[in-house]
Amino acid sequence: MNQVALIWILAEKDLKVEYRSPQAFLNTVFFALLILVIFNFAFDPGSQATREATPGILWVALLFPGIIQLNRSFQAEREEGTLYGLILSPTDRGVLFLGKFIANWAFLVVVDFLVLGAFVIFYNFSFSVQMLWVAWIIILASVGFAAVGTVFAAMLSSIRTREVLLPILLFPIIIPIILAAVNGTQEILILEEAQFLDRWLQLLIAFDVIFVAAGFLLFDYVVAD
């Protein structure tokens, strides 16, 4: 069978499962919204300093729910042993990776867009063309995040302490994504003259390319027991 079709079959399966058990999705969105609200209490919402920190607030609110989703994505495959079903099938491991990665990425993008909408309202921005640029950053940042995260989550799914281990492994690796996303968002929303935006977008793309390729090649070693 066509490998591209297989990738889609795998991703579609995951998205269908998510769609039919929307509780997890709703929990993830709710958690992100809570973080936005908590930051509103933690910092004086009216001050200029808080306004300048809003890009950081947005990305922290997107980061933690992302971790939850990644952990869950393989936990669900462990419960009924479906991960073994996938491994035993003659499907190429790289294809398994791409299917899972695309499903995780799509899930994150949908969650992130909803959170972005809430962010615009809570922090009094406007739904303008600028927000499309922020959405573009979200799309690119989620690729790298989901790629590395999918590899690590697969690796940790057999370890009892996975919930703690995933952020410990993932956060140092995705520091470039956080820097690029926060600074890119800042250029768009706060500085209003996007001087270095291109640079940050290029950095995100470079990260995405390197780690999607790495995940494709290394996945074989992290799924087999």
Partner 1 sequence: MSLPIDQRSLQLARRYLQVANGLLIPLYLLVAAALYGAFIYAPTEREMGDVQRIFYFHMGTAWNSFLTFFAVFVAGIAYLITRKSKWDKLGAACAEVGMVFTTIVMVTGSIWAKPIWNTWWAWGDPRLMSVMVLWLMYAAYFILRSSLPEGDKKYKFSAVFGIIAFLDVPIVWMSIRWWRTIHPVVITSSGAELAAEMLHALMVSLIAMTVLCVTLVALRTAQRLNSSLADEVFQQLDQERVSRQ
Partner 2 sequence: MSDPSNSLVLLSRVTKIFGLVRAVLDVDLEVCRGDFLAIFGPNGAGKTTLLRMVSGLTQPTSGSIQFESNDDHSGRDRVGYVSHQSFLYNELTGLENLVFYGRLYGIGKARGRAEEMLVKMGLQDARYQRVGTYSRGMKQRLTLARALLHEPDLLLLDEPYTGLDQHGSRIFTEVLKGLKEEGRTVLLITHNLGAGLELCGQIVIQNKGELVFQASRGQVDASDFERLYFQVVEGGRR
Q: Which residues contact partner 1 by CB under 8 A?
A: 148, 151-152, 155, 158-161, 165, 168-169, 171-173, 175-176, 179-180, 183, 196, 199-200, 203, 206-207, 210-211, 214, 218, 221-222, 225
Q: Return the structure tokens found at 98.
A: 């791409």
> Least CB distance from residue 166 to partner 2, whole Å?
23
- Residue 159 partner contact from partner 1, partner 2, none using kind-dependent CB cut-offs of 5 to 8 Å: partner 1
Q: Choose between 86 and 203: whose C-beta lies nearer to partner 2.
A: 86
Number of residues that bind partner 2 (CB under 8 A): 21
CA–CA distance, 163 with 142 (Å, rounded to integer): 20
CA–CA distance, 15 with 169 (Å, rounded to integer): 26
Q: Choose between 139 and 179: whose C-beta lies nearer to partner 1.
A: 179
CA–CA distance, 159 with 162 (Å, rounded to integer): 6
- Residue 207 partner contact from partner 2, partner 1, none using kind-dependent CB cut-offs of 5 to 8 Å: partner 1
Residues in 59-88 that interact with partner 2 by CB under 8 A: 80-82, 84-88
CA–CA distance, 42 with 52 (Å, rounded to integer): 15
- Give how far Cα 57 sits from Cα of 67, 80, 95, 178, Å: 16, 37, 35, 11
Neighbour count for residue 92 (Cβ, 10 Å): 15
167 three-state secondary structure? helix
Q: Choose between 139 and 218: whose C-beta lies nearer to partner 1.
A: 218
Q: Which residues bind partner 2 (CB under 8 A)?
A: 1, 6, 9-10, 13, 16-17, 20-21, 80-82, 84-91, 225
